[in-house]
Amino acid sequence: MHPWELHPALMHFPIAFLLGGLLIDLVARIRPRDSLTRVASGLLIAGVVSGVVAAAAGAISYFTVPAHTEAAHEQMDAHFVLASAALVLFALVALARWRQRTQPASAVALSGGVMASALLIGAAFLGGKTVYQGGAGIDPEILAPAIVQGHHHHDDGAEDGDGDHNHAHAEAPAAEVAQPRVHAHDQHAYASGQRAPRVQAPLFDPDVDRAGSR
């Protein structure tokens, strides 16, 4: 398993735990039961703990994912902000619920849970777009050349005694000028591999292709 594959393997657990805990809390608010409120509180705590693990894996993925479009990189930044905000808000809700786990959730706790769920769903939506439309985390061999080449992140400063995170722009062939700019973390993830990327047609870009067909 590659480092960037840890995050998609772990992220489903906090999503299920957190949204499930909120739903059970909503049910327990209408039909109060001690067993329901305890289960809801436990799910929220489990969701926050697994969310911290998934967030750590996400940070690793951010710096090791081999190639993706420039638009996907911006979506990854927004995904990080939304997911972090959702995790912090859910942590506050989970802490409050655990302290009063034998009682139905208050209106404040439920409101916080709903807001955190909206942030979490938005983050999940952007995460999906970076993969299915931006090519993030996909084997570079099956990606379009425009994604494999272009904008790279790598740490050349480590060789010069400089630990800064440097940006380098590779020169794209003239035939690919019309293709979208691309972004890749750690070009060594595919540049130093044994297999060279196969030449294929660029990935489908919904925004560009639909606009051009009108």
Distance of CA 193 to the CA centre of its chain: 25
Asked if residue 30 and residue 84 are part of one domain, the reply reads yes
Asked if residue 174 and residue 72 are part of one domain, the reply reads no
Asked if residue 152 and residue 118 are part of one domain, the reply reads no
* 162 DSSP assignment: -
Q: Residue 20 and residue 44: Cα distance in Å, rounded?
A: 8
The domain tally of the chain equals 2
Asked if residue 168 and residue 111 are part of one domain, the reply reads no
Query: Domain span at residue 65?
Result: 3-132
- Beta carbons of 147 and 69 less than 8 angstroms apart: yes
pLDDT tens per residue, the chain (214 residues)?
788 888 989 999 999 999 999 999 999 988 888 899 999 999 999 999 999 999 999 999 888 887 777 777 888 899 999 999 999 999 999 999 999 888 889 999 999 999 999 999 999 999 998 888 877 777 666 666 666 553 344 443 333 434 333 333 333 333 343 444 545 554 444 444 444 444 444 555 556 555 555 5
Q: Which of 99, 90, 92, 69 is nearest to 22 (CA)?
A: 90
Structure tokens at 5: 């594959």
